[in-house]
Amino acid sequence: MPAGPVQLAVGTLISHEHATTGTVRIVQQPDGARLLTLENLDTSNGPDVHVWLSAAHVVEGTAGWFTAGSADYYDLGLIKGNQGNQVYQIPADVDLSKYPSVDLWCVQFSVSFGAAELVT
C-alpha cells in the first residue's frame, strides 16, 4: 500500500448551462477507499444538482448541456454546495473505467451545470 493518497484522475470543470469552474480529482487513499474531490468549485446555486460520474465525454458549448443525460452514470449524490471544496465517497464496486467524466447535473431540469473530462 502507498504511504499516502494517490491521484487516479484529474479534470478541469467547464461551463455548460451555468458558469462553472473548479478542479475535479479522484484520489485513492492508502486503505483503498476512493474519493472524488471538487476543489475551488464555483457554480450557480440550483435545485436538485447532483454529482455524476458519467460515461459521456465532455462537449463544450450548448451542445454539451444535455450530453450526460443520455449516457450511463453513477450518482454520487446531491452537490454539497455551489462554492468551495467538497469530498464524495466512491463505492468500491464502481468501475471507474466506465466513466471518463464528471458532470454536475440538474435532475429537475435535465441539464448540465458544468462538466470535467478526467485525465489519468
Q: What's the confidence (pLDDT) of residue 1?
A: 62
* 45 closest CA partner among 106, 110, 115: 106
| Assigned domain for 64 exists | yes
| Assigned domain for 112 exists | yes
pTM greater than 0.75 (yes/no): yes
DSSP-derived letter for residue 93 is T
**What average pLDDT does the segment 44-53 reach?**
94
Instruction: Give the rounded percent of residues in the chain with a pLDDT score beyond 90.
Output: 92
Q: In total, how many domains does the chain have?
A: 1
Mean pLDDT of the chain: 95
Give me the domain span that covers residue 64: 6-117
| Assigned domain for 1 exists | no
Given pLDDT bands bounded at 50, 70 and 90, which one contains residue 84? very high
Given pLDDT bands bounded at 50, 70 and 90, which one contains residue 3? confident
| Assigned domain for 29 exists | yes
| Assigned domain for 13 exists | yes
| Assigned domain for 37 exists | yes
Instruction: Look up residue 108 and give its amino acid.
Output: Q
| Assigned domain for 42 exists | yes
d(CA 34, CA 56): 21
Asked if the model's pLDDT at residue 71 lies above 80, the reply is: yes
